[in-house]
Structure 1
C-alpha cells in the first residue's frame, strides 16, 4: 500500500486502483482528492474537513463515497454516510474500523465535539484524539502539534500504541525548529521507527 502525506492531517492511501483520503482539510492540497474513490472524515473542524473542496470533488465525481460522524453527515447532506465508534465499513474496497468517539479536550471540556478514528487495514488515523485502539497497529499516524496536544503526550501515545512505524501528521502549525524538536523526541523516545513526510511525499507500507 502507498501512503501519501498531504498538508496537515490529510493522507491518501492507494493499492492498485483503490484509493481513499482521510481528513482533506483547508491546509491540504486539492490534488489529494483527484481521482479518489472514498473519503473518511474524523470530525467537523476545518483543518480536517474543507467542505467546499470536498463538495467540488464529489460534483466532479458523484461516485465518491464519504464516511463521517453523524454531525458532519447532517451538515454536508445525504450523500455522506454517518459512522460511529464500533462500526466496520468498506471504503474503496478497504476494510475500515471506526474507533474513538470524542475530540481531545483543550480546556474546560472544550471543544466537546464528536471525533472518530479510522483503522484502515492496520493504519490508524486518530483525528484530534489520542484514543487507544484495541488491536495491533502497523502504522500509526501520530498527531504532533495542536492546542489539545503537547509533545510528551505524542511520545507517550506512540509508546503505548506500539506500532510497527509512526508517521507524523497534524503539523501545519509548526516551523522548522519545531519539526527538529518533534522529530528528535519521536525518533529517540517514541519506541517505534518514525518518519515525517513533506506534503506530497509518499512511502510504500
Structure 2
C-alpha cells in the first residue's frame, strides 16, 4: 500500500490492484484523481469535496465510483454517487474500506450539523472532520491538526486516544508556513515518534 498526500485532507492509496482517493477538495491537487477507480468523500464541505473536479473526473473516467454520505447530493446534484454509512465495507483496489462515524465535529452551535463518515483502509484511518475513534486497532492515523472546528489540544487528545504507532497530519491548508512549524513542534513534543509529517506530494509505503 502506497499512501500519497495531495494537499490539505486529500490522500491517495495505490495498491497492486488499483488506486483510490479520499477527500479531493479545493485545497488539494486534482492530479490525485488521475486513474483512480474510486473516490471516497467524508462530507460535503468544499475543502473535502471539489465537485467541479469530480465532474471532470467522471467525464474522463465514467467507470470511477464516488462514495459518500447521502448529504453529498446537496453539492453533487445529479452527479452519480453511492451512499455509504457507518458499518459499510467497500471492496476496492484489492483491499477493503470500512466506513466509521456519522457526524461532523461541532463548528458552532448556531450552525447546522452535517453528516461525516471516516474511512479505514488496511489499518489506515481518515476521520474526515471528526474525532471518531474506531473500535479496532489503527496502524496509521491521518490526524486533522488545524480547522475552524477544533483546537490543537483536541487533536492531541484524539491522537493519544487512537494510539496509532504512526500519525500523519492532514487538514492543514489553513496554516501559514510559520504556523505549521509551530504546530509540528508542539505535536512532536507532545506526541513524539509517532508524529511524522508528509509534505504535499510525498509518498510512503505502508
> What TM-score do the two structures reach when normalised by structure 2?
0.94
Paired with 1:163 and 1:203, the residues of 2 have a C-alpha distance of 16
Match of 2:130 in 1: 129
Moved more, 79-88 or 161-170: 79-88
Moved more, 64-73 or 41-50: 64-73
Match of 2:161 in 1: 160
Match of 2:93 in 1: 92
Matched, 1:188 2:189: yes
Match of 2:37 in 1: 37
TM-fit CA distance, 1:79: 2.5
Match of 1:173 in 2: 174
Moved more, 87-96 or 39-48: 87-96
Moved more, 40-49 or 77-86: 77-86
> What TM-score do the two structures reach when normalised by structure 1?
0.95
Paired with 1:195 and 1:110, the residues of 2 have a C-alpha distance of 33
Match of 2:54 in 1: 54
Conservation of the 8 A alpha-carbon contact between 2:99 and 2:118: yes
Paired with 1:112 and 1:29, the residues of 2 have a C-alpha distance of 27
Paired with 1:48 and 1:111, the residues of 2 have a C-alpha distance of 18
Gaps spanning 5+ residues in structure 2: where? none
Paired with 2:127 and 2:110, the residues of 1 have a C-alpha distance of 19
Runs of 4+ in 1 over 2 A off after TM superposition: 73-79, 91-94
Distance 1:178 1:140, change over 3 A: same
Greater per-residue strand proportion = 1
Equivalent residue of 1:180, what SS?
helix
Conservation of the 8 A alpha-carbon contact between 2:117 and 2:128: yes
User: How big is each residue's C-alpha offset from its partner over 1:46-92, in whole Å with a ceiling of 9 and x where there is no partner?
Assistant: 00000010110111011111110011146533621000111111233
Paired with 1:192 and 1:137, the residues of 2 have a C-alpha distance of 16
TM-fit CA distance, 1:198: 1.5
Conservation of the 8 A alpha-carbon contact between 1:159 and 1:191: no
Conservation of the 8 A alpha-carbon contact between 1:4 and 1:11: yes
Matched, 1:150 2:122: no
Gaps spanning 5+ residues in structure 1: where? none
Equivalent residue of 2:116, what SS?
strand
Paired with 2:110 and 2:39, the residues of 1 have a C-alpha distance of 28
TM-fit CA distance, 1:3: 0.6
Match of 1:20 in 2: 20
- CA-based RMSD of the aligned residues comes to 1.5
